[in-house]
Structure 1
Amino acid sequence: MSSSSSSRALALVSLALLVVSPFLAHAQTPAADDVCAGLATDDACHNVPKALRLKLIGIPTILVASVIGVCLPLFAKSVPALQPDRNLFYVVKAFASGVILSTGYMHVLPDSFNNLNSPCLPETPWRQFPFTTFVAMLAAVFTLMVDSLMLTFYNRKKKGHDAGAPVPTTSSSSAAVANLESPEPEAHWHSHGHGTALGRPGDTEAGQMQLRRNRVVVQVLEMGIVVHSVVIGLGMGASQSVCTIRPLVAAMCFHQMFEGMGLGGCILQAEYGTKMKAGLVFFFSTTTPFGIALGLALTKVYKDNSPTALIVVGILNAASAGLLHYMALVELLAADFMGPKLQSSVRLQLICLTAVLLGAGGMSVMAKWA
């Protein structure tokens, strides 16, 4: 499953929500409509020209911050201290994973609560059932299912490719037997920096399995990041409140840079080719600016307090939060902390835990403004 097919599926889900949500909001009363209209217009910070200027500044600023964040791990490959098997790489990745975890818990999930519990929505059914946590739970389970099925697909594809490979000739088989029988030094089997032995079929297969898993992680993680980035950008582009936009631009730059570092580290470990790396970088970097531009284009139509917008954005935020929680805890943090690199060093574990807390804490502080 590619990133393009994931985005098409996401578009279909969003379209279905847009069609269904007006019927779910049919019980809205005129009094509530007046209240919601007041929420949109009685803002002391309402300044259309100044808000437009800030949004036009925010688009290139967030774009540059996103590119820098996601490209840093890729370009740092030439720096020996930031190789994927070095301690510093694990520390930086732990910090970025903390940012992603905090994004889900401190930014995306509370936004979904605010949307789906808004007074602009009818009490039945939106305030009689915890839709936010329900959707987040389903999204986490769905992410597990997609993660597992994609890995199964890749493994079967690999096995089918291996089954179709030509059988070794007699001479090569004889040479292999001769090599096994010859008493070569054990040093020839040792790995050189990546923890994978060279020449052993089992170890080679384990390395290929890990590589396929890394590629699944990249695709699923990027899908979750793209969802909430577009939603945030859309809300920012449609907003006319200077007091909302000004801190949001700074918060989004911080958020995109460090979230991009986490994604960039995963892309580096996935060992994609140049074209695929460029596509993933472009897709990540442009989603938030695209959301802002879309919000600007839909300013006259899109009202963030309308029932349709609240339902669609609230459900997408909840789904994105569940996906980010799963990816941050299971695929990023647990995979590294339970892996051989960190398990072999208590000191490195403590440093990485500190990095996680710093990343999550810094992103949590940003929740005050965004």
Structure 2
Amino acid sequence: MSSTELPEEINCGSGGGADDLFGLRVASIFIILVGSSAGALFPVLARRSSWLHVPKGVFDFAKYFGSGVIIATSFIHLLAPALEALGSECLAPAWGDYPYALALCLLSIFIIFLVELIAFRWGTARLLRLGLHHDAHGHNLGSHAAHGPEANYNVQPQTDPKPEHDSDIESAGHAAHNTILDNAVAQIIGIAILEFGVALHSVLIGLTLAVDPDFKVLFAVLVFHQTFEGLGIGSRLAYMNLPSRYSWVPIAGAVIYGLTTPIGIAVGLGARTTYNPGSTTASIVSGVLDSLSAGILIYTGLVELLAHEFLFNKEMMEGSNERLAYAVCSMLLGCGVMALLGRWA
């Protein structure tokens, strides 16, 4: 045998998925379902519970820890795999002529930015027509305003005289109702954008887990990965401030997150004889989706979470150094743990 080993043959076509440990792969559907659902549902249910008295500090930890998890996920678990997938040897040489993964990530960031920009301009103009003032940064309330899942519209009536007629009072009540409705819609859209980015990633890693040759290592890592990511999503869902008619939204969001990876695993097992995660088609699809998802989570993590929970949060800026240090350390811990898991998955 020659001392120079031939490179391993690359399979760029269909098939090629591992078929061993089938029973454990099936069991992983339910194990990850329990872990991810528990991580996402616990903050939501605990905050609503009248008998489970969870200290506020625990919720704060989960919230900031989850922010760090989301930011690390965007770079380590989405953007890096996208660069690898779109740099695969199975792709045509033209894919290597330009950093398509970074370009798609950039495109995703600016699409979310433009959507928010248009929505805020429209929403602010509507509030002004109703005689209300909207502080986009929520400086007077001490929490960020209409950004993302923790949205709070800081609306103040214009300095007009007190209403003297019933019609004026009715108009004021109608304006307040519209403001609450707009706030609820803004929060739901914000969390939907966040969940969309996470859901794409979760389905893709489920597909990969179903056919990956190194199943045991990846499975063990993904149990923690999905639980921590669920905690990040659940902490955002738990702090949504919605009218009673929308009280089902946080629970539905947590349930949907819990189902995404198990669905991906189930689909992967069903197509294990034809699905090859390293094939040309799979590399393009996963690379494009991971790139777009990375942009969504980068924008959400840096703008919606970091900027509006720290820089634009009056309570955080004017609060004690201990509280600020606790929040920052919690966030860094979440980011560090999720980044470390990227060593194996």
TM-score of the aligned structures, taking structure 1 as reference length: 0.70
Equivalent AA in structure 2 for residue 349 of structure 1:
L
For residues 300 and 40 of structure 1, what CA distance do their matches in structure 2 show?
8
Contact 1:225 1:320 in 2 (8 A): yes
For residues 171 and 40 of structure 1, what CA distance do their matches in structure 2 show?
71
Of 105, 115, 132, 2:101 maps to: 132
Of 310, 314, 317, 1:340 maps to: 314
For residues 137 and 41 of structure 1, what CA distance do their matches in structure 2 show?
33
Of 272, 279, 293, 1:299 maps to: 272
Could you say which residue in structure 1 is the equivalent of 2:202?
229
Contact 1:214 1:269 in 2 (8 A): no
Equivalent AA in structure 2 for residue 102 of structure 1:
A
Contact 1:228 1:320 in 2 (8 A): yes
Contact 1:151 1:213 in 2 (8 A): no
Contact 1:151 1:216 in 2 (8 A): no
Could you say which residue in structure 2 is the equivalent of 1:316?
289
Structure with max Cα Rg: 1
1:264 is displaced (CA, Å) by 1.7
1:162 is displaced (CA, Å) by 9.7
Contact 1:234 1:291 in 2 (8 A): yes
For residues 47 and 80 of structure 1, do their structure 2 counterparts lie closer, same or farther at Cα, with a shift above 3 Å needed?
Answer: closer
For residues 128 and 284 of structure 1, do their structure 2 counterparts lie closer, same or farther at Cα, with a shift above 3 Å needed?
Answer: same
CA deviations over 1:101-130 (Å, ceiling 9, x no partner): 11111111111111111111122x111111
Of 297, 300, 304, 1:327 maps to: 300
For residues 289 and 157 of structure 1, what CA distance do their matches in structure 2 show?
42
Secondary structure in 1 matching 2:275: coil
Aligned length: 296
1:149 is displaced (CA, Å) by 4.0
For residues 149 and 261 of structure 1, do their structure 2 counterparts lie closer, same or farther at Cα, with a shift above 3 Å needed?
Answer: farther
For residues 161 and 317 of structure 1, do their structure 2 counterparts lie closer, same or farther at Cα, with a shift above 3 Å needed?
Answer: same
Q: Is residue 185 of structure 2 the alignment partner of residue 216 of structure 1?
A: no
User: 1:253-264 to 2 correspondence within 5 Å?
Assistant: 253-264=223-234
Secondary structure in 2 matching 1:48: coil
Of 13, 17, 20, 1:49 maps to: 20
Contact 1:212 1:270 in 2 (8 A): no
1:48 is displaced (CA, Å) by 2.2
Equivalent AA in structure 2 for residue 259 of structure 1:
E
Structure 2: 5+ residue stretches without partners: 1-7, 133-162
User: 1:180-195 to 2 correspondence within 5 Å?
Assistant: none
For residues 221 and 210 of structure 1, what CA distance do their matches in structure 2 show?
17
For residues 265 and 159 of structure 1, do their structure 2 counterparts lie closer, same or farther at Cα, with a shift above 3 Å needed?
Answer: farther
Q: Quick one: percent identity of the two aligned structures?
A: 29
Q: Is residue 92 of structure 2 the alignment partner of residue 97 of structure 1?
A: no
Could you say which residue in structure 2 is the equivalent of 1:108?
78
- Tell me which protein shows more helix as a share of its residues: 1
For residues 154 and 98 of structure 1, what CA distance do their matches in structure 2 show?
29
1:139 is displaced (CA, Å) by 0.9
Of 52, 70, 92, 1:122 maps to: 92
For residues 156 and 257 of structure 1, do their structure 2 counterparts lie closer, same or farther at Cα, with a shift above 3 Å needed?
Answer: farther
Secondary structure in 2 matching 1:62: helix
User: 1:172-187 to 2 correspondence within 5 Å?
Assistant: none
For residues 130 and 327 of structure 1, what CA distance do their matches in structure 2 show?
22
CA deviations over 1:194-223 (Å, ceiling 9, x no partner): xxxxx9x99x99987765543332111011
For residues 166 and 108 of structure 2, what CA distance do their matches in structure 1 show?
54
Equivalent AA in structure 1 for residue 100 of structure 2:
F
CA deviations over 1:53-91 (Å, ceiling 9, x no partner): 232121111111111111121122145555xxx454333
Q: Is residue 326 of structure 2 the alignment partner of residue 351 of structure 1?
A: yes
User: 1:240-255 to 2 correspondence within 5 Å?
Assistant: 241=213, 243=214, 245-255=215-225
Could you say which residue in structure 1 is the equivalent of 2:144?
none
Secondary structure in 1 matching 2:289: helix
For residues 351 and 41 of structure 1, do their structure 2 counterparts lie closer, same or farther at Cα, with a shift above 3 Å needed?
Answer: same
For residues 265 and 209 of structure 2, what CA distance do their matches in structure 1 show?
6
Of 4, 7, 10, 1:36 maps to: 10
Could you say which residue in structure 2 is the equivalent of 1:170?
165
For residues 266 and 151 of structure 1, do their structure 2 counterparts lie closer, same or farther at Cα, with a shift above 3 Å needed?
Answer: farther
For residues 229 and 205 of structure 1, what CA distance do their matches in structure 2 show?
35
Equivalent AA in structure 2 for residue 308 of structure 1:
T
For residues 10 and 188 of structure 2, what CA distance do their matches in structure 1 show?
44
Equivalent AA in structure 1 for residue 37 of structure 2:
V
Could you say which residue in structure 2 is the equivalent of 1:368?
343
TM-score of the aligned structures, taking structure 2 as reference length: 0.75
Q: CA RMSD in A?
A: 3.4
Q: Is residue 117 of structure 2 the alignment partner of residue 148 of structure 1?
A: yes
